[in-house]
Amino acid sequence: ALEVREHHLARTYDLVVRGFLLAAQRAVRLMQAGGHGRIIAIAGHGTDFTLPNYGLLGSAKAAVEAWTRYLAAELALSGQEVCGIARGPHLRAIRRDGLKLIADGAERIAQFPVSDDPAEFGPQDVVICALKAHQAHEHAAKFAPLLGRHTSVVTAMNGIPWWFFHGLPRRDSGA
């Protein structure tokens, strides 16, 4: 964590967190405009433990998971259909207690189906795959049942570290 520089932080959070949130917001607006929709986010195990030199990506991953919980609570409380994928203690806690949202001094509890098996939820309108590239193959069979004829898949590939393009010539789009 001490080696992280400001520009590394900005690049990583822009790619991982901002990309996820903007894609999810856009998908929700489209579903709300159509009067119905099912959205699900799938992420890896990046926040289940700490690893050396992983603080920046691990914290970005934790931010994506936190945004996912906020989105799930807000959508469920607004009447949207929400399906949750969780593991271990998070799965048990959400099943038992739901997700608590505190806004404007009021506490509300969002209850929705949650499982560690994506196949339980069937085809979704939008699947946001926030797995790292090397995890996608391992988990593909698990989220295949989420894909229907009209499912949109957003690959919010996180895991491209700040140094991925280091040393390559910069190519500005001019935009």
Q: Tell me the H-state helices in the chain.
A: 6-13, 19-34, 55-77, 88-97, 133-143
The pLDDT assigned to 175 comes to: 46
Please list the active-site residues: 54, 61
Report which of 60, 35, 30 is spatially closest to residue 46, judged by C-alpha positions: 60
Is the model's pLDDT at 54 over the cut of 50?
yes
The pLDDT assigned to 109 comes to: 95
Helix (H, G, I), strand (E, B) or coil at 130: strand
Is the model's pLDDT at 85 over the cut of 50?
yes
Rounded Cα gap, residues 160 and 37, in angstroms: 30
Question: What percent of the chain stands above pLDDT 90?
Answer: 7
